[in-house]
């Protein structure tokens, strides 16, 4: 059974060596797995920090010690891929501290008031920002009006540059298909989008 974040934090304090051994084993496994994904045709990996890159669970210093080295090893294994994405989970996230990661896009919940806005994030990262649609609230509404309003707000913040329209996290299975179709139609037909190459990491 995978421990809850609070349990794992306790183990980090009381049994740091076994935790590091586990992190090493997981990382070494994925270092072998990632190149096979690329050989199979994947354009990159989507590396999610899950709960950890949030000040709710870790300080920036703790993340730098316990997670950053392993993150960077996985991204090194995927370095030849054209499009790697870092997803920085949860509120109070450490996006600014991870802004130098070698990825093409940074995915996060830009609508969480404790996180940087899309506009702010663009000043932090070299690549694209990915998000802007509230996956737990607006995207679940019965009408697409809310997601279209968030789409317009994101366009105002970014000008359509270096922005990948996406939910702040994964799309829940119960999401109304009409809301997803409305976003796509708006981007394809109604809202002019300025296309700009995404800078390499």
- Is the confidence at residue 90, as pLDDT, over 90? yes
pTM: 0.91
Q: What is the pLDDT of residues 95-127, one digit of tens each?
A: 999 999 999 999 999 999 999 999 999 999 999
For the ranges 24-28, 99-103, 157-161, the lowest mean pLDDT is seen at 157-161
**Cα-based torsion angle of the residue sequence 163, 164, 167, 169 in order, rounded to the nearest 10 degrees:** -100
User: Each residue of 171-198: pLDDT tens digit?
Assistant: 999 999 999 999 999 988 755 555 556 6
CATH number of 5-190: 3.20.20.210
The rounded distance, in Å, linking the Cα atoms of 193 and 191 is 6
What is the rounded distance in angstroms from the CA atom of residue 24 to the CA atom of residue 18? 10
Domain ranges of the chain: 5-190
As a whole number of angstroms, the distance between CA 54 and CA 73 comes to 20
């Amino acid at each position: 059974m995978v421990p809850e974040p609070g349990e794992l934090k306790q183990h980090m304090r009381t049994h740091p060596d076994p935790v590091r051994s586990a992190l090493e084993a997981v990382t070494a496994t994925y270092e072998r797995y990632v190149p096979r994904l690329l050989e199979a045709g994947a354009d990159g990996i989507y590396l999610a920090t899950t709960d950890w890159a949030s000040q709710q669970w870790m300080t920036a210093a703790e993340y730098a010690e316990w997670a950053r080295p392993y993150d960077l090893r996985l991204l090194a294994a995927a370095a030849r891929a054209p499009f790697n994405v870092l997803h920085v989970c949860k509120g109070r996230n450490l996006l600014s501290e991870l802004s130098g990661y070698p990825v093409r896009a940074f995915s996060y919940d830009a609508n969480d008031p404790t996180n940087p806005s899309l506009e702010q994030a663009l000043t932090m990262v070299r690549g694209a920002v990915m998000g802007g649609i509230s996956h737990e609230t607006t995207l679940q509404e019965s009408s697409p009006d809310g997601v279209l309003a968030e789409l317009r707000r994101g366009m105002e913040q970014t000008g359509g540059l270096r922005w990948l329209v996406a939910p702040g996290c994964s799309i829940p299975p119960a999401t109304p298909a009409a809301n997803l179709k409305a976003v796509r139609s708006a981007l394809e037909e109604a809202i002019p989008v300025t296309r700009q190459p995404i800078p390499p990491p």
